[in-house]
Amino acid sequence: MQQSDLFGPESNGHDADVVNYPLIDGELILYKNVFSPLQAKHFFDVLMAEVIWQQDYLNFGGKSITIPRLQAWYGDAETAYTYSGLTLHPRPWSPALECIRQQVMTLAGEEFNSVLINRYRSGADSVAWHQDNEPELGQNPIIASVSLGATRSFHLKHKRYKRGENQLRRIIDLPDNSLLLMRGSLQHHWYHQLPKTRDLVGERINLTFRRIL
């Protein structure tokens, strides 16, 4: 197979399945089968091999905490990103990342100039409750989150959530080759997390495309 079969426009021409999750205070849309199966597998393999994975640390009250996953930040030159006191400087887009970005922008109808890539090596890797609401993302940011590899559960919890209020909580499985769009006022009202699991799961790559203003 030629590279152009995987990166070229001819490989984009199939419909993704769309699930719209009804939600107060925000919009949540899941697209399944975003890429062809061959393309999804190819992107997973290429990203595993070519992304410069970093083990980063956060500083809490003078203590250095290991982030329980590997990560990387790619984007246009001016798109540095700071969260929890950690500043990530962008690496330039590779052909594979650029190809994923173009397809995501077409589906989302939005421009993205950067991507945070997380690598979950096993069920012991996770991301804790947080909001993607940093000032450089602007008011009501659109986050486009691509999943490749193992299926993991994604949890959302409204800020007003109290035990038992099920309409203020969502748990969604994010399968391989899917795109989750979070938009509207969601980042102001909801936290999200990807918890650890005791299940034996394989590796997963997640790419959250963002627009740094």
Ligand X SMILES: O=C(O)CCC(=O)C(=O)O
Among 28, 97, 116, 144, binds ligand X (CB under 6 A): 116
Identify the residue among 40, 67, 96, 127 touching ligand X (CB under 6 A). Answer: 127
Which residue number, 74 or 154, has a Cβ lying nearer to ligand X? 154
Q: Which listed residue (39, 145, 177, 187) binds ligand X by CB under 6 A?
A: 145
Q: With CB under 6 A, what is the number of residues at the site for ligand X?
A: 11
Output phi, psi for 35, to 5 deg.
-110, 165
Q: Is residue 211 within the footprint of ligand X (CB under 6 A)?
A: no
Q: How far is the CB of 118 from ligand X (least distance, A)?
A: 5
Footprint of ligand X (CB under 6 A): 116, 118, 127, 132, 145, 154, 174, 192, 194, 206, 208
